[in-house]
Structures are given as structure tokens and as C-alpha cells.
Structure 1
């Protein structure tokens, strides 16, 4: 596999990344479970790369929404749009994605946005979870946040402002997706290239002979020792900032591969699955703490964009992660948490911002737990958002 993502549209790059994760997930799962079958699944706990398939696909849905929004903006440049319903008919939008688009679009009109802009921007959230919008507090807050970004956006004409929000979402999702893949995906590529060159691979040999740029062997070794001692705790160790202050997150990626080798040699399924879970947390810590964070919080607002953290704030209540037939919704997670502002006029999901690591990390750990409870679901691959032959969009 190439070490970089090839050029193309964001959706084409997303397609490439999702396929790459699929190959990595299957290869690594076969290491810890020799009976693994791509269609029938695995007896072992799914690894981080299996989750990454679905996370990449969800990011792709957001990019699909941006691509459709841009198509609507192009339509509106040359003619007056009669109604949101007719526009969505013309771009082939249907099903749940259309329902979400119509709901948010109507709320944006009430916030003072022109019909053309609200029709386009409604699509940005159309691929996300609709249920939270049933709470009037969430609907009003989400629409208000989108409207505020719209009126702050660069450009003079409404469609220019809508284009700015669309561009920001597309770039943010694409940059994050590429950053994770070229970091952890590349680490997996290197690991799988190294592994056949070494006989009788063990966790110890990983620590001795395999490394990554930025990793420190002493750190990876120390982390492995500590995590093996705590592997059977529930919940699994995840507060790595407290456990390993100052440790490079790349060192934990090396530790994760060593944990997978240790899991492969475990005598029983419970011990094996516990180690896979700890390895998943190590991969995810690197993914969320360092790899993806710059995509959410660049040093300043980029030219032609609105604030990425503010856009992430607006979309956070609607986030979801499809895991085959199972859905993890951010709103469900938020409902189990304390009321941060103790204000009954605000809904809990609107009190979080996915752009902030402290808000993301505990939530993601609950997504892992849902996947562990439904392991077969993760091996049901999501349908492609574009076709290989024509690169046509497939909203639905």
C-alpha cells in the first residue's frame, strides 16, 4: 500500500482510506484469531482497525453531505430555487439523509438564513443522527450555532457564506481522516512489512526490534509492563496522560503492537480479549491526542473557512458511529453524563465540543464498549459512498 493517500476528491480519498483500513483490520485480526473469516467474523475482540473502517465511513458521510451541498450551491448560482423539497429531488437526496436536511434547513430559515443557503447547509447535517433534533432545545441551539457561523463567514453573498461552511466541514473531515491514516495506517504498514522478516515474533521481539519515528524503546517497554499488570481491570487502562506523563504517544503505538503479539499467545479468550482492548486504547490515544487534533483546532482560522472548533461544536450533538447494524450516538452518551451547566433550558449534548480532546476521549471509549458487546457487527462492512467505476455519489 502506498505510504500516502493518492490525490483525488475528498470522497475518493476517503474511499481509499476505508479500503486500506479494511485490509489492515483483516490482516491483524487473523494474527490474534487464526479462525477469523472476513464474512463470518472473529471469535476474538475486534481491533482498533476494525473500528477505523466505520469511523472513516462516517467521516465520508460528512464529506458526501459537503459534496451535495456544493452541488446545490452550484445550482443556485444560475437559477432561483423554488423550494428545498424540489432541490433535494434534483440532487437525488432521499431517506434519512433527506429528512435531516429538511429539518435543519427549516430551522435555519427561522434563524434568518436565505432559502438557498439554508437548503445547502441543511445537507451538511443530513447524514448525521436525526434523533437529537427531536428535542427543541437541541434543534434551536444547533440552528443558532450554524446561523452564527453563517453570518460570520467570509464572503458577501449568501451562497459564498454557505460555501465557506461547506468547505470548512469538508476540509476538516478530510484532513483528520488523512492524518490518522498516514500516521497509524502507515505504522501498521511498517509493522506488517517488518513482521515476516522476524521469526517467532513475540512481544519482547517487538520491543527489541521494531520502532517508529518518534517512539522511544524505553518508553514502549515501560508502558507494556504497566499495562500488562493492569490489563484485567475494568474498565481497561485509558488515562495514559496520568499513567505515563510526558510519554510520546508514538511509543504507545509500538506498545500496542506488542500487546497484540502478547494477545496472540494468550491461553484463553478472556485474557486475549483484555489485551486487545488495551491495545485498542493505545492506538486510539495516539489517534485522538496527536494525529487528528490539528485538523480540529488549527492555530488560526484558515483562509476561506469559518472556525473549525465552532463548526464542530454545532455538529457535536448529531454525531454518530455506525458499527454495522449497531449505532453509537453521541447524544446517548451525553444523556448518561452530568448536566454540565445545570441549566434545564440547554440539552446535554449541546454542552460538548467534539473538537476538544477531553470531550472526545471518554465518549469514544463508550463506542469501543458498544462494539465489544456486538463484535460481529463490526465485520459487516459499510456500503461504499462512491462506486469504483464511475466515482458517482451514492446518497441514501
Structure 2
């Protein structure tokens, strides 16, 4: 395994960002936001990995356990694919407003779907037609799964449940016209993914950029200075110290510490962020690879908890529903069985996770993947931790970073 305990450049951050990661731009499309966010995460992943692994070079690979920011570009890219699906669905609806499709095949031809992806979208769209949806509305909702794990729909229980949920969302939409009903579902998914992605980047990415700026000017930095001096707004030094000390004492626990609402009741998630940066510093100074990687993993869990428990949850379950949307939790529950994230050359799917972890409701008539809803924190938290563990087993795979997604309706 690569890496050493030596401190590069007198403890300063190696390969410091030449410019801060791009923030979401005013007036940008969701896919433009996503491109900037994914690129920003890639920059942060490289800087933090160079801190943990002095032999790492941006554009290369690392055998040292990846930091949280190495997972983030792939998760952002997966969210971007959901926004790309929304753009394709809207393209079908826009074409239908000019002239309704004469058949389901024509509706899908309008967005150029082919191959195995076409077959899974067609299968779902046909089931939606059989459940009473108009052709173009069915094709648009089916297209929302284009870049997802279509193989999950090979289980007929998942196919029927997914179609039934889409049908319920369609009829619940606050619009009289069939195309407007379908667009309300599309709009809800796109906004949920975009707002969640922006919220996470503003929170975790913003904290990371503030940390790197502070670290660059702080001189020699170790975990103690992080815990006592890094001024992250909203964090409390005494809470960060508690979380840091707990991590040192329990880094080798099985399962790894993760139920932080029970371990640290009332703790602000930003304090966990400070503790995570201190743990990265401790890992940087740790010679033994086993100890170092255990510290990195707990730090990743701290940042992931802040990301999922605090930053993104309001996007999934907003305090007030938008009048032109359908239920965000129900949209996410509908999409959950087809979730897939490519961590570089690794593929993680919710379906694989669900089938490997038993039948939650004990009913053989329901497929395990349909028993999860991504908007529910405790439904998604264990699967997210599972995806981390998969990445830890093949760390070099994560450094194959995603490229930009292009909006097919632009230009």
C-alpha cells in the first residue's frame, strides 16, 4: 500500500487548490450546477488525498483509504444523471405539446433511446400505459429511469410496484392536463436532486474550503490545533473534542461508529466536521496503515452523517411542500429500487444491497428493493455505509473520476 507517515511541505497542504471549488451559479441549470459541483469535489478529493498520501498525484491513483471527498464526485454525478433523466423526460413532454405521439415507441424515439436502456424504459412505460396513463406521460415518467439500474425492473414485483407508485404520483399532481401532471413529477425529482446536491456542496464543500484556507495560513498543523483553533461557524470546540476522542477509542469497533444521534445526542453536525478534519490530520501523522485507515473511515462517517442527516434532509423532506410539486418523499421512494452509483470502475446498486440484507417486511409478494425509501434517513444511511465499505475494498477504483454530463436539450 502506498503512503507514508512523513509530513509533506512542513505540514502544509500539498497541491493546494489554485482556485476555490466552483459554487453553484446564479441562474444556472441543474446540470450546470451539477457539473460545477462535481468538478469542485474532484479538486477537494485530490487535495485531501494528497494530505493523507504524500505519494498521490492528482490524476493518479492511491492505495490509501479514500477520503470522503473521493466518494462525493461519484455521488454528485449519480445525482446529475437523475437530472439528465429529467431533461430527457421534459424533452418528451415538450415534443408532445407540439404533436402527441402516435405510439409509445414514437415517444421514446424522440429522445433517441436504444439498446438495453431502451428496453427497461419501454417496459416500465408500457406498464404505466396499462395502468391508465396517456402515452406521452407514460414515456416521460419511464424516461426518468434512463440512467438508473434498469436491471432492478427485471423483478416483476419491482416493475409493478414502481409503475403503481408513478401512477399514484401522476394522479396526485396539482394540474388538470396529462402532460402537466407528468411534468409535476419530473419537476419534483429534478428540484429534489438539485437542491440536495447544492445543499451538500455548500455545507461540506464550504467547510472543507474554509478548512484548507485556514490550514494554508496556520503554519504547522496537527489535530490539536484543529480542535482548538479551526473556527467553523456553528461548531463547538468541546463537542468536536468529544467526537475526536471517541473516534480514537473506537476506530476499530465492529460495526464502525455510525449511530451518532445515540452516541452524541444533541451534538451539532458541524462539530463532527471539525472532528473529521482533526482525524484526517491524525491519520496523516500515523505510521501504521491499519490505524491510519481506521481513522480515515471514522472521519468519513462523521462527514457523511453531517451530509445526510443535516445538509440534504431538508431537500428530501421540506418543511413546506411546493404548490407545483408532488410528494418529494414519494418520488424518492419510487426511484429508490433503481438507484445506482458508479464509484469509478465499481458499481453499487440499492437492489444488490437490498437482496443481500433480507426481507424487511417479511412479505414475499414485495421485492426487497421496494421496501426502502431514500428520503428516509435510516433507510438510506446503512446502504450508504455499505457503499463506503465496497469502495474501501478497491480504493484505486474511486480515482477514475466522472466526466461532465451534457444537457441534451441545451443549445
Partner of 1:6: 25
Unaligned 5+ runs, structure 1: none
| Residue 2 of structure 1, CA deviation | 6.5
How many corresponding residue pairs?
Answer: 390
Q: Deviations over 1:183-242 (max 9, x none)?
A: 000001100100011122100010111021110000001110111111122332111112
Partners of 1:96 and 1:263 lie apart in 2 by 44
1: distance between equivalents of 2:384 and 2:352? Answer: 12
Structure 1 segment 277-292 matched on structure 2, within 5 A: 277-292=297-312
Structure 1 vs Structure 2 CA RMSD: 1.5
Tell me, yes or no, if structure 1 residue 327 matches structure 2 residue 347. Answer: yes
TM-superposed CA distance for 1:57, in Å, is 0.2
Where does residue 104 of structure 1 map in the other structure? 124
1:216 pairs, out of 229, 236, 241, with 236
Closer, same or farther: CA 393–283 of 1 in aligned 2, 3 Å: farther
Query: Is the aligned partner of 1:27 residue 2:61?
Result: no
Cα deviations by residue, 1:271-295 (Å, 9 ceiling, x for unpaired): 1111110110000000000100000
* 2:171 is the alignment partner of 1:161: no
Q: Distance in 2 between matches of 1:94 and 1:32?
A: 43
- In the aligned structure 2, how far is the partner of 1:85 from the partner of 1:54? 32
- Measured after TM superposition, the shift of residue 340 of structure 1 is 2.3
Unaligned runs of 5+ in 2: 1-19
**1:87 Cα deviation after fit:** 3.2
Deviation at 1:130, TM superposition (A): 1.2
Whether contact under 8 Å (1:35, 1:43) holds in the other structure is no
1:385 matched residue in structure 2: 405
Structure-2 change in CA distance of 1:191 and 1:96 (3 Å): farther
SS at match of 1:160: helix
Task: Give 4+ residue runs of structure 1 displaced > 6 Å after superposition.
Answer: none
Instruction: Report which stretch shifted further, 293-302 or 361-370.
Output: 293-302
Q: Larger deviation: 228-237 or 106-115? A: 228-237
Q: Which residue of 1 aligns with 2:374?
A: 354
Residue 4 of structure 1, CA deviation: 4.1
Q: Deviations over 1:7-58 (max 9, x none)?
A: 2100000000000000000001000001112333112101111110000000
Q: Structure 2: how far apart are the matches of 1:91 and 1:138?
A: 25
Q: Is the 8 A contact 1:96 1:127 kept in 2?
A: no
- Distance (Å, rounded) in 2 between the aligned partners of 1:126 and 1:374: 27
Match of 1:86 among 103, 106, 129: 106
Note closer, same or farther for the CA distance 1:3–1:20 as it changes in structure 2 (3 Å cut).
closer
After TM superposition, the score normalised by the length of structure 2 is 0.92
* Aligned counterparts of 1:267 and 1:124: Cα–Cα separation in 2: 47
